Amino acid sequence: MVTGWHRDTWIEVDLACIRTNIKNEQKILPKTTDIWAVVKANAYGHGMLEVAKAAKEAGAKGFCVAILDEALALRAAGFSEEPILVLGAVRAKDASLAAEKRISVTLFDPSWLEQVTETDVPLRLHLKIDTGMGRLGVRSQEEIKQAAEKIAADPRFELEGVFTHFATADQKDTAYYDTQLQRFREGVACLPKKPAYIHVANSATSLLHDQADFNVVRFGVSMYGMSPSDEIKDILPFELKPALSLKTRMVQVKELHPGDHVSYGATYEAKANEWVATLPIGYADGIIRHYSGFSFLVDGQKVPIVGRVCMDQLIVRLPREYPVGTVVTLIGQSAEQAILADEIARHLDTINYEVTCLLSDRVPRIYKENNHF
């Protein structure tokens, strides 16, 4: 995708926030538990390589991605030593490529092993146990034993890890979580030999539950400074620092008169004389049409979107005339006010993860440290 370096719309990512979140996380973990930074999906929209670099500097010991290509991109960018785990499915025909690059793969079905044809070096596998998420993973103790036996009997494979993923770790009620954890412990007990890495935690789990029995956490959303859910915001062990801001500049400012309409469908009609600004950002950038009715910030004041969001532009109503070029904050701090991804998520009836992941590669990412470029 072409990135819009010649358009005044940009994302600022404060890498100091990412480092602080990692350091604070490390403080609450046992000394023997490592952080693996989850940088899939372009680091939840923040930019994979820059985040990976900052995470490594702050003490992250490995990375998790969703697809093999993301792992390959990390290796190609010089992350040559760190463990990288692909959390999603890897095709059996790509096993040798993963093995050659020392990329660890999630094993969720023992029959997958039979489909692997060649590997010159042993492929590192993390056995995923589906303890109740119902997504990837082996479910029965038989399957766990079968997978372990097949791996032990075949020099092309090495069982490097075993893990699970919780469905409700971001809720206060721990009943389902407790059941999943118990199933995981029983599953791990079936393995004749414990692998090097035993891990269960995403952000929510690592923030709320003791990790003494596990030596890796897969730290995603909270590394970026976002709460895993609204529900657990008030019980988080430290303050999260949101790293991402999204800004643009007004490209045209005009006065509407009563009866004037705005945008496709002419759905918005001015009731009085009012000032509006056209912003060079739209749904192709990730500001989807459901943002309609939401307000952004100019000098800490709310400016509501009027009319429909277009592919590349949208229109906001201003409290007064502003000069063309005035900055509008869509996510982040503006004077004394801030818009968090959480607030947008509530408006869109989604989660903060989706808000930042939706920001497309057309928007350039600019990196800063402690609010300085």
Ligand X SMILES: Cc1ncc(COP(=O)(O)O)c(C=O)c1O
Identify which range of 140-148, 187-195, 200-208, 283-291 contacts ligand X by CB under 6 A. Answer: 200-208
> Which residue in the list 40, 283, 291, 367 is annotated as catalytic?
40
Query: Bridge-partner residues for 256, per DSSP?
Result: 274
Q: Which of 19, 46, 124, 218 binds ligand X (CB under 6 A)?
A: 218
**DSSP letter (8 states) at residue 22:** H
Binding flags for ligand X, 284-303, as an x/- string (CB under 6 A): --------------------
Q: Which of 21, 33, 168, 203 binds ligand X (CB under 6 A)?
A: 203
131 vs 318: CA distance, rounded Å = 51
Torsion on CA atoms 366, 367, 369, 370, rounded to nearest 10: 40
46 near ligand X, judged by CB under 6 A: no
Backbone phi, then psi, for 368, in 5-degree steps? -140, 170
3-state secondary structure of 35: strand
| Residue 206 · residue 170 · CB < 8 Å | no
| Interface of this chain with ligand X, residues 165 to 194, rule: CB under 6 A | 165
Q: Which of 29, 84, 87, 298 binds ligand X (CB under 6 A)?
A: 87
35 near ligand X, judged by CB under 6 A: no
Q: Give CA 18 to chain center in angstroms.
A: 12
The radius of gyration of the chain from alpha carbons, rounded to an integer in Å, stands at: 23
161 near ligand X, judged by CB under 6 A: no
Nearest Cα neighbor of 294 from 274, 272, 273, 279 is: 279
Residue 40 among the catalytic residues: yes
> Which residue in the list 172, 194, 233, 264 is annotated as catalytic?
264
Identify which range of 15-23, 108-116, 217-225, 334-342 contacts ligand X by CB under 6 A. Answer: 217-225
216 near ligand X, judged by CB under 6 A: no
- Please count the residues of this chain forming the interface with ligand X, following the rule CB under 6 A: 11
Identify which range of 17-25, 201-209, 262-270, 326-334 contacts ligand X by CB under 6 A. Answer: 201-209
Q: Considering the complex, what minimum distance in angstroms separates the CB of residue 349 from ligand X?
A: 19
148 vs 190: CA distance, rounded Å = 9
Beta strands in 252-307 (DSSP E): 252-256, 261-262, 268-269, 274-279, 295-298, 301-306
- Residues of this chain that interact with ligand X (CB under 6 A) are 38, 87, 165, 202-204, 218-221, 228
Q: Which residues are part of the catalytic machinery?
A: 40, 264
